[in-house]
Chain A
Amino acid sequence: MRQARFWSLPGVRRALPLLALLGVPVTLPAQEGGATAAAVFERFSPRVVKIEIVETASGAKAVVGSGFFVTDRGHLVTNYHVVSKVIQDPERYEAKALEENGSTFPLTVVALDVVHDLAVARADVASPSHFALHAVTVEKGVRLYSLGHPLELGLSIVEGTYNGLLEHTRYTRIHFTAPINPGMSGGPTITADGRVVGINVATAGNEVSFLVPVARAVVLLDRALAPSYRVPSDFLTTVREQLLAHQDDYLAGLFIDTVATIEFGPYRVPTKPAPFFNCWGDATHDPADPYEVLDHQCSTDDYIFISSDMESGVVELWHRLLTSDELNRFRFYALFSDDFDQRNAWLQGSEDDVTPFRCDRSTVAGHGVTLKVQFCARRYRKLEGLYDAVIRAAAVGRPDVGLESVLTLSGVSFDNAQRLLRRYLEAIRWNR
């Protein structure tokens, strides 16, 4: 049995200063007095349910997560990744909610925000009680309480600290210091007086957890409750449209006009294409090796859940400079060739999610450089128009210096992949 999971996000983060979110902010003081976790649990646990995604044929649980009531008419908020199987394969799976008192009722998904990993579902019952969603701002250090069903151990409460917003993400995520575990996905994280601050979504382990800010859920719920709103008949189309719109917006500003570059040995290479990229680099020279390595890497952290085998949305660029005074040109190219071929894609996915990669390769005359380029792409099987693309380029023709460069794009349109391929290759230059 599989539980709804969190994704782990790499890297160590700094918390940002407080930022105003949507709606009318309600600022809470850092010191809360009086309320204990026990009292919070006692008061608010009836508003939280366990969500199970069940395979209809076998009756087996495929996913377990959490959700919470947000209206008195049975509307619940949870994560998209908790209910994604019902969206992707509605013939095979169905969703149901289980209350603490033991009652069970079927759930219907009514609205989605795949980019922010949110879903609104509806149960055909009157909610026992519910959280009213409003945008809130919270000071760093405020005690918050997370509710959910970790590892199917029963409804639990976890106390932790609000630690601001993630710095290097385009889409805001709250850094919450508490041990949130699988199964708590979709559960609320609230203040002691019951204001929802965020929705449990992911963890990086070691009590580093992430929440979707409640403001995103407010927007989604408002849309779902609008009188003009019609529940889509085919949610896969909704997912596809949201992802396509997202990537157009996300990639629009990359590598246009003046491309940020750094000096990288005798080359200039693109770096930090947008503020939501995080860059790091290192030079390594193992005395046992007759060559030197210089690495530079930039990556986004806006992971988007596609299926339990696959994430999307991340853009990464990576450069490596190999140099050697010691190796003759044949041995240097043996190194260069092997190392370049090992630069493989880290992109995951199952055969149900994506096609295998198909590639074109060529030798391209760039700006003062000759590049061996391989452009590989694969398509999302159920989401027409969305692709993953990997561009591998090696600057060749010099006997003792080699540049390798890889641009990885996930969840993009083919047009965008082609546009970025062109821009990226044009941005790699000889600097001498």
Chain B
Amino acid sequence: MEPVAFLEILDRHGRVASRHRVDDLPLRIGRGYTNEVILDDPYVSPIHARVEDRGGLPVLMDAGSDNGIVLPGRGRVATLPLETGVRFRLGRTDLRFCTAEQRVEPALREEGGRFNPLALTRTSGRRWLVAAVAFAAIALQQGLSTYQRQTWVEPAGAAFTVAVFVAVWAGGWAVANRIVAQLFRFWTHFLWAAVLLVAFLLADVLFQYADFAIGLDAAARSLDFVTSVALGTLLLAGHLRVIGQIGRRRRLVTAVAIAVAVTFLVTAVNQADEDEFTTSLPSAGPLKPLSDKLLVRQTVDHFVEGTADLKAELDRLAE
């Protein structure tokens, strides 16, 4: 047999939970303390199985256990030659046998650069600064979009409500983080979500100003779609990066796929609403406090002449 081999105990996701070096055979596996490999699984017998050397090949043999050796897809077996990479189950514990030839995935590279949510919480001072700036921005946006009399309380209250929603969202990610990577990282998820929310609001404001100034019209829908997908991807990819269990490529693919699916669904629902017959007018578009010198303007005549296309469209619709 090979000089060095390992018995790996796997978790329910198939990842290695612990590893036992196999130097000498025979080797006993069970729940009792006399075994070389002890499995803390109530479905494993005190002496469950043993590995013996059969002509240079290690073979796993049932040692009169209650639940036996189970091969995925084949059921219970009495003996199992252990080739490298073979997976089997004792009781409810998954194990894998491998030798030093077993290939491993390349290491995940530590990524620096932009869009790193972990940078948000690198120091305690930065953490508070980011939170303060994000929620001040949200409070400001709320305060400037209402026209009833207000004190500082209303925008602050609105920002607090938003903070609660962000906290719930971040809490979900933190729990996932804890399950997958044994780290909670609530603050990082929270700040990342808050920063992205501010980015969403900012994109919306820019979008409205652009629409007001130059009239986005036909481009509006695709621009909206692209922005939503881009920011959605950034949000999801950031959370996944904080969790840190999958590589950059897979992370991006996952994030883009979810962002596209969600945006597409929302767009489709909105489109269905728009297609329903209604006697009310579509929105006239936002009005913004820009100097009229910044606006793309046309003459009355030019505008009126352009409406001829509407007539053709309506006549088509009426057929």
Contact = CB atoms under 8 A, between A and B. Distances in A.
Interface of A: 288-291, 326-338, 340-341, 343-345, 347-351, 354-366, 370, 372-381, 384, 387, 390, 392, 394, 396-397, 399, 402, 414, 418, 421-422, 425-426
A244 to B, nearest CB: 15
A372 B287 contact: yes
B215 A363 contact: yes
A331 B144 contact: yes
B288 interface: yes
B206 to A, nearest CB: 14
A357 B313 CA distance: 10
Contact of A364 (B287, B298, B318): B298
**Most central of A338, A361, A363, A390 by chain B CB within 10 Å:** A363
A338 B146 CA distance: 10
Q: What 5 A-B pairs have minimum CB-CB distances, sorted nearest first?
A: A397-B292, A335-B147, A370-B292, A329-B289, A337-B287
B311 A414 contact: yes
Interface string B209-253: 000100101000000000000000000000000000000000000
18 contacts: A330-B289, A332-B289, A344-B281, A356-B278, A356-B317, A357-B281, A360-B306, A363-B298, A370-B297, A374-B285, A379-B317, A384-B315, A384-B318, A390-B281, A396-B295, A397-B292, A425-B303, A425-B304
Contact of B282 (A330, A363, A376, A380): A376
**Most central of B217, B279, B283 by chain A CB within 10 Å:** B279
B108 interface: no
B311 A394 contact: no
B158 to A, nearest CB: 14
A344 B280 contact: yes
Contact of B146 (A331, A360, A387, A392): A331
Nearest to B317: A355
Contacts of A354: 279
Contacts of A380: 318
Contacts of A337: 286-288
A397 to B, nearest CB: 3
A422 B304 contact: yes
Residues of A contacting B: mostly = mixed
Nearest to B277: A351
Contact of B314 (A332, A351, A364, A379): A379
Contacts of A356: 277-278, 317
Interface in B267-319: 277-292, 295-301, 303-304, 306-311, 313-315, 317-318
Interface in B127-162: 143-149
Contacts of A365: 297-300
B280 A363 contact: no
Contact of A372 (B277, B281, B284, B317): B284
B35 to A, nearest CB: 73
Contacts of A387: 311, 314
Contact of B287 (A333, A358, A425): A333
Contacts of A392: 281, 284
A345 B281 contact: yes
Contact of B315 (A331, A379, A418): A379
A115 B177 CA distance: 72
A372 B306 contact: no
**Most central of B282, B296, B306 by chain A CB within 10 Å:** B282
Nearest to A290: B149
Contact of A374 (B144, B281, B289): B281
Contacts of A341: 283-284
Contact of A377 (B148, B280, B311): B311
B277 A381 contact: no
B287 A359 contact: no
**Most central of A290, A334, A421 by chain B CB within 10 Å:** A334
B281 A377 contact: no
B303 A364 contact: yes
A179 to B, nearest CB: 31
Nearest to A353: B279
B301 A422 contact: yes
A334 B146 contact: yes
A196 B277 CA distance: 44
Nearest to B311: A414
B318 A381 contact: yes
B298 A394 contact: no
A363 B295 contact: yes
Contacts of B310: 358-360, 375, 377
A360 B280 contact: no
